[in-house]
Amino acid sequence: MSKIAFKSKLRPWAVQQHRPHRSRSAWWPLVALIVVSGILYGGAILRQDDYGDGLRLPAGRTSARFSLCRRAEQPNCVVDGDTIHFGGETVRIADINAPEVHEAKCDAEAALGRKATLRLVALLNEGPFELEYAGAREHDKYGRDLRIVSRDGRSLGDVLVSEGLAEHWTGRKRDWCR
């Protein structure tokens, strides 16, 4: 007879001794749930905006390294001449309208849209910039954050407009193919 079998026959209470540990282990899912909930809730509180109903982009002067968006979940990239992904949010530059790149109506619009996109990448990478509220609306109809992107008091959208790569936003999209 082996030693293990011998011990268990002589001391049947040894098996019973470990049962309280099983009841303690039933608490770990609850504890894990509380910890995870606290982390998620705490993160949501830290990212709420002033109205408590949405996520917040960095305030004040900020900078990041931008590239062209090649994947859907890149943190800091330029989608087109008036849309960026920044800090986990999609931002629509509120004061301009740039030519489309992805759904261009003609080759001329697509070419100008690519130029606007590349210029916006360069402008954002030149140094710190500010994101400012655009006015009464915080989000567009697609849920993108509406912001004016500026550096040293000048809108980067105005730079694109002055270079012929965008137009001031009037509430309607321009036909870039005429």
pLDDT digits (tens, 9 = 90+) for 41-63: 554 433 334 333 344 566 678 88
β-strand 145-151 against 89-93: which pairing, if any? parallel
Does 55 fall in a domain?
no
pLDDT value of position 26 = 65
Give residue 36's domain range.
3-47
Q: CA-CA-CA-CA torsion for 98, 103, 107, 110, nearest 10 degrees? A: 40
Instruction: Tell me: do 34 and 87 sit in the same domain.
Output: no
Instruction: Supply the pTM of this predicted model.
Output: 0.66
Instruction: Tell me: do 28 and 113 sit in the same domain.
Output: no
Instruction: Tell me: do 128 and 151 sit in the same domain.
Output: yes
Q: What is the CATH number of the domain that holds 141?
A: 2.40.50.90
CA 42/CA 24 separation, integer angstroms: 27
Instruction: Tell me: do 89 and 158 sit in the same domain.
Output: yes
Higher pLDDT, 165 or 104: 165
Does 52 fall in a domain?
no
Among 95, 104, 88, which Cα is nearest to 160's? 95
Instruction: Tell me: do 14 and 73 sit in the same domain.
Output: no
Among 91, 89, 65, 95, which Cα is nearest to 80's? 91
Instruction: Tell me: do 12 and 77 sit in the same domain.
Output: no
Helix ranges (DSSP H) in 26-165? 28-47, 107-124, 156-162
Instruction: Tell me: do 164 and 83 sit in the same domain.
Output: yes
CA 124/CA 65 separation, integer angstroms: 8
Token look-up 């986990």 returns 88
Does 176 fall in a domain?
no
Higher pLDDT, 76 or 38: 76
CA 18/CA 24 separation, integer angstroms: 11
Instruction: Kindly give, in sequence order, each residue whose CB lies less than 8 Å from that of residue 148, ignoring residues fewer than 6 positions away.
Output: 93, 94, 95, 131, 132, 133, 134, 155, 157
CA 176/CA 147 separation, integer angstroms: 23
pLDDT value of position 107 = 92
Does 174 fall in a domain?
no
Instruction: Tell me: do 26 and 68 sit in the same domain.
Output: no
pLDDT value of position 43 = 46
Does 56 fall in a domain?
no
Instruction: Tell me: do 26 and 112 sit in the same domain.
Output: no
Does 108 fall in a domain?
yes
β-strand 61-62 against 89-93: which pairing, if any? unpaired
Q: How many domains does the chain have?
A: 2
pLDDT over 70 (residue 23): no
| Per-residue tokens: 72 | 């859907």
